Amino acid sequence: MDMGQTISKKIITWYKKHQRSLPWRSYTSSSDRDYKVLLSEFMLQQTKVSTVVPYFNKFYKKFRTIRALSKSRITSVLKLWEGLGYYRRARNLHQTAKLVLQKHNGKLPDSFLDLKNLPGIGDYTASAILSIAKDQPFIGIDGNVKRVISRVFNLKHNKKLLLSIEKKLNSMKVKKGSSELMQGIMELGALLCLPIRPGCTKCPIKSHCISFKKNTFKDRAKKKSYQIKYFNAFFITKNNKILFSFNKKFNFLQGLVNLPLVEVATNKHNVTINKVFKKALIGSSSVPLVKYKMSNFLMHIKVISLSNVIFNKTKYFWLGQKDIKKFTISTLAKKLLQVSSNHEK
C-alpha cells in the first residue's frame, strides 16, 4: 500500500471514531441524505459549523425535502435564512431545488457537470456533494482540506499550491469510503489540524506529516486583504417608526429590508442628501463609523441621522417594531439599527 492510501486508511479509521454528531450526518433514506448534504453545503459556504447547526435544524424542520423547498415561496426561505447572511445562497438553493424537481425528477444529480449547472454550485460544492452524498471518488478543496494536505506533504504556498494539493489528493482517493475520507480530512482540519496551535500529538497521521517532522506546521497562507468600500446609511425615525427600503441596487442586499443606503466615492462620505431624498434635515448626532465585512470587500458605513424627510414612497416605507418582524431584515441592518439606537439613548 503506497503512502497516499495508507494516510487515507488512517484518516477514515480516525473519522469513524471521532466524528462530530451533526444533523446532516444522520438520515432516513438516500434522498434524505442527498437533501441534507445539499442544504448543509449551501449553509456552510463561508460560515462556521457551530453557526450553521441551529439554522439547519430550523430550516429542515420547515422544509423536509427538495420538493417541499421547491414549492415554497422565496420570502419564506429568506425569513428562515435571516441572520445567517450571504442571502444569495438562499436564493440559489431555492432555485436549485426548483430545477432539481423540474429537470431531474426531484433527485439530486450524480454527475459533476449536472451539479455544476445548478445555481450556487461550483467545483467545491459539486465535489463535496458527490463525495459525501454519493460516495464518489471526489474530494473538494476547502480551507480545512487545503491546510491538512499542504501540511502533511509540506507543500509550498505559491501559485502551484492548488495543483500540488490536487495531485496529492489523487494519490489518496479510495474505491470505497470516499464519503468518510473527505469528511475525515475536513474533520481533521476542524478538530486537530487548526490554523493556530494544532493538536499534532493526537493526529492519526502525524507519523506521515512532513511539516510535523520538520516543525514547519504554522499556517503559511497569506491573510486575506479586502477592498474597502464607503457607504452612507440613513437612520430616520418618526412616531416610533423607522424608515426602511428594499435594496434593489446592491446584489448583496437584494430582496432584504435595510436602512436607506448609498455608496460614496471616498472615506470623506460626502453625499448630497437631496440626491437620495427630496428634502431632509441632517441631525446633530454623529454615530460612530460602522465596519461590516462582506465576502470580498469591507464596508465602512457612516450612519447619518435625518428628520423632516420627504421621500419617494415607492422606494421607502415606515415600519414599527411589530412590523419589522414580518420582514427579512439583513444582518447589516440589524447592526446599523443597534448602533444607531444605542447612540440615540
In angstroms, rounded to a whole number, what is the distance separating the alpha carbons of residues 290 and 165? 39
- 3-state secondary structure (DSSP) of residue 41: helix
Q: How far does CA 223 lie from the centroid of its chain?
A: 18
85: left (phi over 0), alpha (psi -120 to 50) or beta: left
Tell me how far CA of residue 189 lies from CA of 8, 94, 210, 219, in angstroms. Answer: 14, 30, 16, 12
- Which residues are CB-contacts of 249 (< 8 A; sequence separation ≥ 6)? none
Residue 269 and residue 302 in contact, taking contact as beta carbons nearer than 8 Å: yes
82 is catalytic: no
Catalytic position from the list 41, 180, 187, 344: 41
Q: Where are the alpha helices (DSSP H) in 133-272?
A: 143-152, 161-172, 178-191, 210-214
- 3-state secondary structure (DSSP) of residue 303: strand
What burial class does residue 59 get, using C-beta atoms within 10 Å of its C-beta: 0-12 exposed, 13-18 middle, 19+ buried?
buried
At CA 126, angle to CA 123 and CA 132, rounded to 5? Answer: 130
What burial class does residue 302 get, using C-beta atoms within 10 Å of its C-beta: 0-12 exposed, 13-18 middle, 19+ buried?
buried
- 3-state secondary structure (DSSP) of residue 91: helix
Catalytic site residues?
41
